[in-house]
Chains A and B, each alone.
Chain A
Amino acid sequence: MHPSEDPARQPSGQAVIVDADGLPALFDALRGRGYTVVGPTVRDGAIVVAELASVAELPFGWGVETEAGRYRLRERSDTAAFGHSAGPQSWKSVLHPARARLWSADRVTGTVETSTVETSTVEGGEAAKPPRYALLGVRPCDVRAVGILDQVLTGGRHADPVYRGRRDGAFIVAVECTEPGATCFCTSMGCGPGVESGFDLAMTELTDAGDHRFVVRAGTAAGADVLADVPSRAADEATVRHAVTAVDEAAERMGRTMPVQGLPQLLADSRESPHWDDVASRCLTCGNCTMVCPTCFCTTTEDVTDLTGDHAERWRLWDSCFALDFSYLHGGSVRTSGQSRYRQWITHKLGTWHEQFGSSGCVGCGRCIAWCPTGIDITQEVSALASLQDVAAPDEDRP
């Protein structure tokens, strides 16, 4: 169980109000404790996840327009810093980086000595300890996504050392959603737009009547400790209710819904569905969806040497099940057709993930819908499969 989930560490704190001009103090409190603050910022026409040097880098007054295959920044009429739905990057960029060195080894006088992130003291190489990150602005869908990655990468018999190192030291500031995007469906997946656990601090941003403030509550002792260094005032009941209402109303305004009932069985039954031909006529197998998805975790490895051949390193890189050689075996790949690769992705995400890891792999963030160049909508694909199943087996009792 991760520290932020441990009830023994839940402080009994009240919600407080932090004004927008109290955010720099939050920054200082985090930096002062040795955290590198990572959060949203505007860059290259999108709101990306990056290291933030100061509060000023947050995307104040920026919102987004999203639709299938579409993402545009727009200027807001207020100064909200978190008034935008999921961008092209997720927090896996930080916790499960796209490139990581697993180990390096030197062949010296007939022996091999290996060193890892934990033990290495190579000059210019990995630090002896990984940096500690404060993740500022984690939406509830992404909080759930982090929990899912916890299960995949540390919940099995062997824990991924790179992920564990970064996750154990991470501080999570969640921000609840009051303005869902057109591609959002976290409510369907049961993980938003509010958040109950998995964070050190949770904030709800309010900007009505020009009064830019946050209702903040601590989820752990570490969170309460940081919050104590931030100027705040006790939250009055009206404001708290206002925040709760804003979040509840957001749940009613989701852009999409996912029919989750019986999804794993539907996908298992759909393996020979004619629908895969239909998707394959639209899917470029570009893998965008897997890159923007906050729970896609697949990686590959690459061994490299220097010119002497006596120093070797193994690097781990993001991979995608859409890559043609992902399933390479005995001279060719098992999944060569677009049909089979799309089927693999969606069946894993919504179906077999349950058997493998005990939950759905999808958090309803809608990123895959926005960043698919042909606008394939995972919720629509499920609806299409479901109606084909109904046609194939009408009025049949399914287990």
Chain B
Amino acid sequence: MTGTVAMRLSAQPFFAVLTDSQRGALAEDGTEVTFAAGERLFDEGGVADMFWLIEQGGIALDMRVPGRGDQIVETLGPGTVLGWSWLHPPYRWHFGAVARLATTAIAFDAASVRRRCDADPAFGYAMLSAFTPVITERLQTTRIRLLDLYATPSQVRHAIGPVNA
């Protein structure tokens, strides 16, 4: 089982920054999982005891907004990682996640991976090196969306006030 997971990890560029042995160690905490379209992975506020590397399909991050229902804030596709909240206390999900499409992924035991990071700082640093670029990129794209570039001038005015003096 681990051998297969290790192979599948190697096929994904996300953990390319890890050495082969680091990837092998990480694979020990990984399990192959599948989700049917519409299946919920976790709720906002739940315990963040796992994270996933998405291989096929798509996941939608959502938040329940009173009056709006479940609002999708972002969708994630193959090759990226779902879940950062396991990296730091209080280890709670900030958003919910639901499979938008039938999805296959590798699920990782977050507590076990954290123990490995504590025991082996080099491994921990390599993990952060894999995660931080993605976090930065998502922050950047979120900021771009906040700019509301496709809005008309009057939509911009209502949202953020006068643009030019």
**Within 8 Å by CB, do A and B touch in the complex?**
yes
Q: Chain A: residues with CB nearer than 8 A to chain B?
A: 330-333, 336
Closest A residue by C-beta to B162: A332
Binds A, one of B53-61, B63-71, B114-122, B151-159: B151-159
Alpha-carbon gap, A108 to B154, bound state (A): 35
Q: Return the chain B residue nearest A328 by Cβ.
A: B164
A to B CB contacts below 8 Å, 14 in the list: A330-B153, A331-B152, A331-B153, A331-B154, A331-B156, A331-B157, A331-B163, A331-B164, A332-B153, A332-B163, A332-B164, A333-B164, A336-B164, A336-B165
Q: Which 6 A-B pairs have the closest CB atoms?
A: A331-B153, A332-B164, A332-B163, A330-B153, A336-B164, A331-B163
- Type the 1/0 row for B124-156, where 1 means its CB is closer than 8 Å to any CB of A: 000000000000000000000000000011101
- In the complex, number of A-B residue pairs with CB atoms less than 8 Å apart: 14
Give Cα A336 to B162, complex, Å. 14
A331 CA to B156 CA, complexed, in Å:
9
Q: Which A residue's beta carbon lies closest to that of B154? A: A331
Question: Contacts of A332 on B, CB cut-off 8 Å?
Answer: 153, 163-164
Set of chain A residues within 8 Å of B165, measured between Cβ atoms = 336
Chain B residues engaging chain A, CB cutoff 8 angstroms: 152-154, 156-157, 163-165
CB closest residue in chain B, given A333 = B164
Least CB separation from B153: chain A residue:
A331
A333 to B165, CA, bound (A): 10
Q: Cα distance A333–B153 when bound, in Å?
A: 12
* Most chain B beta-carbon contacts within 10 A, residue among A330, A331, A333: A331
Residue of B nearest to A325 (CB): B164
Which A-chain residue is minimally distant from B157 (CB atoms)?
A331
Q: Which residue of A lies closest to B164 (CB)?
A: A332
A336-B163 Cα distance, complex, nearest whole Å: 11
Q: How far is the CB of B117 from chain A (nearest CB, A)?
A: 43
Alpha-carbon distance A330/B154, docked complex (angstroms): 9
Give Cα distance in the complex from A333 to B164, angstroms: 8
| Minimal beta-carbon separation of A329 from chain B (angstroms) | 9
In the complex, chain A residues whose CB is within 8 Å of the CB of B154 = 331
Residues of A within 8 A of B164 (CB): 331-333, 336
Interchain CA distance A143-B154 in the complex, whole Å? 48
Of chain B, the residue at the smallest CB distance from A331 is: B153
For residue A324, which residue of chain B has the nearest CB? B164
CB distance from B139 to the nearest CB of A (A): 26
Residues of B within 8 A of A330 (CB): 153
Give the docked Cα–Cα distance between A336 and B154 (Å).
Answer: 19
- Taking the closest CB of chain A, its distance from the CB of B23, in whole angstroms, is 44
| Contacting residues, chain B, for A333 (C-beta < 8 A) | 164
